[in-house]
Structure 1
Amino acid sequence: MPTSYQRPYYAAITAFGAYVPNRIVSNKDLSEIVETTDEWIVQRTGIRERHIADPSEFTSDLCYRAAENMIRRFSVSLADVDMIVVATITPDHPMPSVAAQLQARLGIERAGAIDLSAACAGFVYGIQVATSFVASGMAQKVLVVGGETLSKVTDYADRSTCILFGDGAGACLVEPAAQPGVLAVGNHTVGHAAHLLYRAGLRPDVQGTPVSGNGCIVQSGREVFKLAVQTLEAEVPRLLAEAGLTASELDWFVPHSANLRLIESVCERMGWSMEKTLFSGEWYGNTSSASIPLAIQIAVDDGRIQPGQTLLLAGFGSGFVYAGAVIRWSAILA
């Protein structure tokens, strides 16, 4: 966003919620399906377990539960929401959108509804879109949800991918505020690398590379790791500069929880402490668009995130797309 742009309104996150399915699949459980061990998975990814949706449980269900959790924890009403933005790569259907299904289930009388497909950057993109609606005056109250049921598109015969993914959802409200809540945003795309991480659709190739995976996620792990580290190392300092902050003024770094080793590598290169970095992957796995809100929810629950603190959110994923946002936390528990 150009620094000269003057928002007619400020936007801030005013409420937050999350949900994960009840069923837990540990690394030991996976070792009974594919050739792997708990030690091998933890050493390479930092993941110990993940939550998996039931066969009858889909992304819209998880998103609905995350919104319910937010209503209960922050004592907010969604009746006057005028825009719903859902980030997901695992919608119940190609159409109708998950956002439209949420509108009906939540009983919101009059609201726009759109789905975003930006993979692991989706939730941050959702915040950016919501901020744009509020800042322009086009909306007064936007519900943003990131939700995935990646287990339904994971090949459990492929040990390189099945150890990574889990299911979950996170939700927030973005509303006008007296003080800026979203301090800066940033985006970046490396579209020529699309063949490194995809889920096949109608077209028989991705950037000229024939698709495989029978509709499940296909990933070139080493290349994805390298590209993600390079992207974050370049983009995070730019985002801090856009916000007019130094690393020492930042309270929390919240990257997409893809892999703990990847995040450790990024933090080492930036000289950033892992003690000030939030990670949801240990107990939830890689939940794509849900990983950042789940990491925030964990830190809200244990009291680490407090009103007035500054967070840098950084999502990166298939596309390859990156979305970042620096926010000042203002959501206060009821």
Structure 2
Amino acid sequence: MKYRNVCVECITAILPPHVVTSDEIEAELAPVYQRLGLPEGRLELMTGIRERRFFDPGTKPGTISAQTARKAIEQSGLNPALFGALIHGSVCRDQMEPATAASVHAGAGLPQDCLVLDVSNACLGLLNGAALIADLIELGQIRAGVVVGTEIGRPLVEGTIDRLKTNPDVTRKSIKLEFASLTIGSGSAAIVLCDRKLSRTGNRLLGGAARANTSHHNLCAGGVEPEQTGDTRPQMSTDSEALLFAGVELATETWERTRAVLGWQNEMVDKVVTHQVGRAHRNLLLEKLGIAPEKDFPTVEFMGNSGAVALPTAAAFAIEKNHIVAGDRVALLGIGSGLNSIMLGMEMGA
């Protein structure tokens, strides 16, 4: 995919108010740790996640997403009447039907002649949504659009803790499949894209590539199974080690294709933003891609893995903290369970 007429006008994030540390989670799991002989500090040591953030109990994704979309639209400076698409791209949604995007669209105050839909693709939903909006802009079908999402991690983390505490059959082997669930955080992010002629920033979206290796679709799976568990909270099972190596392998292939599409070499890339999973994933990914760690802007230490909003949130902070500056070539390196990967290249305006 290549774009000539698309700009990323702004990337915005909202932080949840409640901080939960890895130490606090392990304190809750102390009886389980003691029974299994697991050392304290294991969660932060293995992931690099010091803390994650949660919204208030009972918060609906759409409520926060409407706030984030309004913030992004205001920050972009674009007239809301110019928007022709709103996509909601997080894993979390308000309900199965209608699309969560419907309530977000109503709350964001966008026009009725607007494409409104949800896009669901694990941790890639927002990047996939951004690419779809970019396609519509490039084709001349719309002039501007926003993709937004909110991940609510509290029910998954708290449900995992409760299940581990009450299940006497948990072993050192079986707890490994639950480990990734304890790294999950919450967050909300939005990306506004527009026709180059409307842009005030000149932050061009140049294009990118997408690849899939769906033979690994069973490495991470989650959902709600109240009929079997009696619990309406989501649960997730993840083979973290297999997912790490398979994911990085796919990312390496996608990066090669992305560079070919954009005509980039590694030395031409000034900054990168990666999906925020954990320390081991980041280190291995950057090593295999041949990218210097100082080009990256990690947020996983204080945000945890916030799903589809993790990468856009990191990008928003990187811009806010002047890690990404005018003139930079920036690579957004997305990957999600499935396995799927999409990588996009940007060039920041002068």
User: Does TM, normalized by the shorter one, top 0.5?
Assistant: yes
Tell me how far apart the structure 2 counterparts of residues 180 and 50 of structure 1 sit (CA, whole Å): 30
Structure 2 vs 1, CA of residues 268 and 60 (structure 1 numbering), >3 Å: closer, same or farther?
same
Paired amino acid for 2:107: R
8 Å Cα contact 1:85-1:116 kept in structure 2: yes
- Give the direction of change, closer, same or farther, for the CA distance of 1:38–1:134 in structure 2 (3 Å limit): farther
2:170 match = none
After superposing on structure 2, the runs of 4+ consecutive aligned residues of structure 1 that deviate more than 6 Å are none
Task: Give how far 1:192 is off.
Answer: 2.1
1:24 aligns with 2:28: no
In the alignment, the residues of structure 1 paired with residue 234 and residue 203 of structure 2 have an alpha-carbon distance, to the nearest angstrom, of 42
The Cα offsets for residues 86-109 of structure 1, whole Å up to 9 and x where unpaired, read as: 111111111111211111111212
- 2:285 corresponds, among 266, 286, 308, to 266
Per-residue displacement from partner, 1:252-282 (whole Å, max 9, x unpaired)? 1111111221111121123211110122211
Asked if the contact 2:189–2:309 (Cα under 8 Å) also holds between the matched residues in 1, the reply is yes
Distance in 2 of aligned mates of 1:306 and 1:76: 22
Which 5+ residue runs of structure 1 have no aligned equivalent?
Answer: 205-212
* TM-score using structure 2 length: 0.84
1:124 maps to 127
Pick from 289, 294, 303 the counterpart of residue 313 of structure 2: 294
Q: CA deviation at 1:181?
A: 1.5
1:189 aligned to which of 212, 223, 230: 212
Equivalent positions of 1:31-70 (< 5 A) are 31-34=26-29, 35=33, 39-70=41-72
CA contact 1:27–1:38 (8 Å) conserved in 2: no
Note the C-alpha offset of 1:241.
2.0
Output the CA distance in 2 between the equivalents of 1:90 and 1:84. 16
Q: Tell me the residue number matched to 1:12.
A: 7
Contact 1:18–1:65 (8 Å) recurs in 2: no
Deviation at 1:215, TM superposition (A): 4.0
CA contact 1:148–1:167 (8 Å) conserved in 2:
yes
Compared CA separation, residues 289 and 296, structure 1 to 2 (3 A): same
| Contact 1:89–1:148, Cα closer than 8 Å, also in 2 | yes
Counterpart-to-counterpart distance in 2, 1:324 and 1:165: 22
Rounded Cα–Cα distance in structure 1 between residues aligned with 2:145 and 2:39: 43
Aligned-residue offset at 1:78: 2.9
Q: Deviations over 1:303-325 (max 9, x none)?
A: 11123311111211122111111
Moved more, 213-222 or 296-305: 213-222
Larger CA deviation: 149-158 vs 101-110: 149-158
User: Which structure 2 residue ranges, 5 or more long, are not aligned?
Assistant: 165-174
Question: How far off is 1:172 after superposition?
Answer: 1.5
Structure 2 residue aligned with 1:281:
300
* Correspondence 1:70-109 to 2 at 5 A: 70-71=72-73, 73-109=75-111
* Preserved CA contact (<8 Å) 2:11 2:189: yes
Partner in structure 1 of residue 172 of structure 2: none
Task: Check the 8 A contact 1:126/1:144 in 2, yes or no.
Answer: yes
Change (3 A) 1:77 1:279: farther
Contact 2:16 2:186 in 1 (8 A): yes
Report the count of equivalent residues: 318
Between the aligned residues of both structures, percent identity stands at 19
Aligned counterpart for 2:241 among listed residues 192, 201, 222:
222
Check the 8 A contact 2:252/2:289 in 1, yes or no: yes
Following TM superposition, by how much is the alpha carbon of 1:236 offset from its aligned partner in structure 2, in angstroms?
1.1
CA RMSD of aligned residues (A): 2.5
Question: Residue 26 of structure 1 aligns to which amino acid in structure 2?
Answer: T
Which amino acid in the other structure matches residue 245 of structure 1? W
Contact 1:15 1:76 in 2 (8 A): no
Q: Which amino acid aligns with 2:54?
A: I
Q: Distance in 2 between matches of 1:73 and 1:26?
A: 31
Scaled by the length of structure 1, the TM-score of the pair is: 0.87
| Mapped contact 2:72–2:190 kept (Cα < 8 A) | yes
Which has more helix, going by share of residues? Answer: 2
- Please say if 1:248 is aligned against 2:267: yes
Match of 2:182 in 1: 163
* DSSP 3-state at the match of 2:184: coil
Is residue 160 of structure 2 the alignment partner of residue 137 of structure 1? Answer: no
Is this contact kept in 1: 2:217–2:338, CA < 8 A? yes
Structure 1 residues 275 and 38, CA, compared in 2 at 3 Å: closer, same or farther? farther
Q: Is the 8 A contact 1:84 1:114 kept in 2?
A: yes
SS of the equivalent of 1:279 reads: coil
